[in-house]
A and B are shown apart, each in its own frame.
Chain A
Amino acid sequence: DVKVTQSSRYLVKRTGEKVFLECVQDMDHENMFWYRQDPGLGLRLIYFSYDVKMKEKGDIPEGYSVSREKKERFSLILESASTNQTSMYLCASSTGTDYEQYFGPGTRLTVT
């Protein structure tokens, strides 16, 4: 069965903290994605990766960075968390852009 897991379901951090969100997939997918989801705005792409050590900016990369050292793991980093980064963060993986994306359960991040 397809599986995408995220390190935390809920996270509360203080403004200015460095935050790591981890995503792991067990399907040997080449592509991995990080989205944030906010009410009324839908899913917005932050970063994606087509291969190990490779990353591409999505629509809203500002304030975020990513790391992909291994094929199965894609990390999202908030260098200095701010309150406007309070959101639901979703990780996904796929074999290609035209193929189905499998999503993780999401991490609800609150920055106070």
Chain B
Amino acid sequence: KNQVEQSPQSLIILEGKNCTLQCNYTVSPFSNLRWYKQDTGRGPVSLTIMTFSENTKSNGRYTATLDADTKQSSLHITASQLSDSASYICVVSHRDNLFFGTGTRLTVIP
């Protein structure tokens, strides 16, 4: 069964600290893996999109990594800011389908 699982479900960190969010998937084969940021009450916004052959992709303070052998991806946030408080969703593309994780809820506190 094609699945995408994210951990942790929620995370609280202090402003300025780094954090790493995890995404494990069983979708195979896959076309690409995406990370989205969703602010409360808003639609998701794309952070990164990686194909099978890419290992890492950065977007400012966000860096996504992909290990296609172990079917794992991570999203690393550096020097967190209060505006990073949001849900982060991992999405895996497989043929004509998208498989969504349930997200990690990140709260950054001052």
Contacts and interface: CB of A to CB of B under 8 A. Distances in A.
B93 interface: yes
Contact of A103 (B41, B43, B96, B102): B43
Contacts of A4: 43
Interface in A74-101: 90, 92, 97-98, 100-101
B46 A43 contact: no
Nearest to B94: A97
A105 interface: yes
B102 A106 contact: no
A30 B95 CA distance: 17
Contacts of A103: 36, 43-45
B102 A41 contact: yes
A44 B49 CA distance: 20
Contacts of B32: 98
Nearest to B32: A98
B100 A42 contact: yes
Interface of B: 31-32, 34, 36, 41-46, 49, 89, 93, 95-98, 100-103
13 contacts: A42-B103, A43-B89, A43-B100, A90-B43, A90-B44, A97-B31, A97-B93, A97-B96, A97-B97, A101-B98, A103-B36, A103-B43, A105-B42
